[in-house]
């Protein structure tokens, strides 16, 4: 990813978090007084106080499961973590046909921790951040992880909303933590991730695991110690 594209991606993520971009991320900036545009959250001198916004409607497919707002979400214990590897998750029995709007498979009731090298990062239309991780010891083995937008419906109402908000903040911090002379501050970095197991259907998504399991949503992401 070029420096220009990475900067554009970072701006899109910041704008989404400020509630200024929706849907497909096209130029939908909210004009402020004197012809300025908001790039981050916060009040602007001379602007009228903003009324609280309702959570945005962002996605549809198994959305309650993806945002930890399904009926089984309160049963999830985010502090009970199964440490594993990306390669091992690829070897799970495959469930690539998707599922209903509730948790079906045992893996969808678990929180997994993996270490992986960032291969790709994309801002999705549903305002998730799609990240492809490769197993550091088996680079051909990959997995998708998704960082949810806590301002979206479902996520905003989740009993685990605080964890989702923290995860998004941790991801944003990663974007800003690279060396100033590093044109790709997140690509290629090794990160430690915790996320809830989720089986997505095979729709040709970049980085899909062989078993179609994802960590979706992410509840923690940070640089892995050397």
Q: Which pLDDT does position 19 carry in this prediction?
A: 41
The Cβ-side half-sphere exposure at 58, using a 13 Å CA radius, reads 29
- pLDDT per position as a tens digit, 140-185: 999 999 999 999 999 999 999 999 999 999 999 998 876 555 556 7
Q: Do 164 and 148 contact (CB within 8 A), yes or no?
A: yes
Q: How crowded is residue 99: how many other Cβ atoms within 10 Å of its Cβ?
A: 17
Report the predicted TM-score, pTM, of the whole model to 2 decimal places.
0.77
In terms of Cα–Cα distance, which of 98, 136, 121, 99 is closest to 218?
A: 121
Helix (H) or strand (E) holding 162: helix 161-176
Domain 58-223 has CATH 2.40.50.140: yes
- The token pair that represents 175 in the structure block: 């974007």
Give a three-class secondary structure readout of 179-212: CCCCCCCCCCCEEEEEEEEEECCCCCCCCCCCCC
- For the chain, the structural domain boundaries read 58-223
């Amino acid at each position: 990813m070029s420096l220009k594209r990475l900067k554009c991606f970072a701006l899109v993520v910041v704008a989404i978090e400020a509630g200024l971009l929706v849907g497909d991320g096209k130029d939908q900036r909210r004009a402020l007084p004197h012809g300025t545009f908001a790039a981050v959250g916060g009040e602007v001198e001379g602007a009228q106080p903003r009324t609280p916004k309702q959570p945005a409607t962002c996605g549809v497919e198994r959305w309650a499961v993806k945002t930890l707002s399904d009926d089984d979400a309160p049963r999830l214990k985010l502090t009970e973590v199964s440490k594993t590897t990306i390669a091992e998750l690829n070897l799970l029995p495959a469930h690539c046909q998707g599922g209903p709007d509730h948790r079906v498979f045992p893996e969808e009731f678990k929180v997994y921790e993996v270490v992986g090298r960032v291969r790709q990062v994309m801002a999705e239309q549903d305002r998730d951040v799609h990240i492809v991780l490769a197993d550091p010891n088996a680079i051909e083995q990959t997995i998708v992880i998704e960082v949810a937008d806590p301002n979206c419906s479902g996520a905003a109402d989740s009993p685990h909303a605080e964890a989702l908000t923290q995860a998004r903040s941790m991801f944003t911090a990663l974007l800003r933590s690279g060396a100033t002379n590093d044109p790709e501050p997140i690509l290629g970095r090794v990160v430690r991730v915790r996320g809830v197991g989720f089986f997505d259907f095979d729709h040709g998504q970049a980085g899909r695991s062989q078993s179609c399991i994802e960590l979706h949503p992410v509840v923690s992401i940070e640089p892995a110690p050397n």
